[in-house]
Amino acid sequence: MELEVVWFVVIAFLWLGYLFLEGFDFGVGMLLPVLGRNDTERRVMINTIGPVWDGNEVWIIVAGGATFAAFPAWYAGLFSAAYLPLLFVLLALIGRGVAFEYRGKVDSQRWRRAWDKVIVIGSTVPPIGIGFVIASTVLGLPLDADGNRVGSAFAAFRWDTLLGALAVTGFSLLHGAVFIALKTDGDIRRRARRLATAILPVAILPVAAFAVLVQVRHGSEWTYVPLAVTVGAVLVAWWRIAAGREGQAFAALGVAITGTVVTLFGALFPDVLPSTLDAAHSLTVDNAASGDYTLTVMTWVAAFGTPAVLVYQGWTYWVFRKRIKTSHIPAPHTAQQVSS
């Protein structure tokens, strides 16, 4: 397999990891005022992601860095069209991180409610922006013969890219509800399970619509297979969460997002950024890639570094695998941290 193809697969895998891990992360933040009926319950919800939220964000940094190094033309064409949404994503992530750290610094309901709003906003804006970016790269942008984006800064804002934004947001909301049911106990767990069962058809609808749209426009015969897997996994997730088997439902959603990413990037290949003006202007794994030397060095670095990162992050989830209950939460004090 050529290194250009290897790195296309690696970047797709990085996006998969980000959507799966940061998806429930964002969902927990969006559902903070919905499932957390008092400060203790909201602290339980925050503590479910307290040890892992910052590690989850690393996946998008690595995905962006790998794209820049392996496919600089892809990076330039895509990110130049996404300056505005990515700016809002960055500001939201900064505010979200600050809110996690500062929420418990002052023993005041008013103070905590203000930071809770920042968490909700900081968890809602990023999936919208990330969904827009993914939709733009899969569905294409107006590119000229030199691979440069043409048109205004809003040329990429179309109904189909907005559908992609809605798809990632809906998945994150559902994924977060299932994760809360998996990681908590008592009333929060029961409310999260009921909510996940109720919203699944609505939340997953834009995901299915976007995947079908991509399949119809760019898909091939083999990409019907991961699309079918996605549909089956969603039905299994609905069945298992309704039966109170949160772990199985969570795993099924993991299979669903895997099938979706395989469908999207499988339909995209060998393009990395299609041109909506002329297919001949599209960026591909061949004309957008770096040189062989760069890709070789990156491959060796990734071969040694990636397993270590995966083992460490897996160990983190294993250490913090137990459910959290309200009885585990101490009384608020000014030194409270997000991971307390």
CATH architecture of the domain covering 3-316: Up-down Bundle (1.20)
Q: Domain locations in the chain?
A: 3-316
Cβ neighbors of 61 (< 8 A, separation 6 or more) are none
CB atoms closer than 10 angstroms to residue 5? 14
Give phi and psi for 230, each to the nearest 5. -60, -45
| CA atoms in the 13 A half-sphere facing the CB of 320 | 17
Using an 8 Å Cβ cutoff, are 125 and 168 in contact? no
Per-residue pLDDT of the chain (340 residues; tens, 9 = 90+): 689 999 999 999 999 999 999 999 999 999 999 998 898 999 999 999 988 888 898 899 999 999 999 999 999 888 888 888 899 999 999 999 999 999 888 888 899 999 999 999 999 999 999 999 999 999 988 888 877 777 776 777 889 999 999 999 999 999 999 999 999 998 999 999 999 999 999 999 999 999 999 999 998 899 999 999 999 999 999 999 999 899 999 999 999 999 999 999 999 999 999 988 888 888 999 988 999 999 999 999 999 888 888 898 899 889 988 898 887 777 766 444 444 3
Q: Which of 121, 102, 91 is nearest to 29 (CA)?
A: 121
**By C-alpha distance, which of 144, 160, 118, 174 is closest to 276?**
144
Categorise residue 275: left if φ over 0, alpha if ψ from -120 to 50, beta otherwise.
beta
pTM metric for this prediction: 0.90
Residue 125's SS3 state is: helix
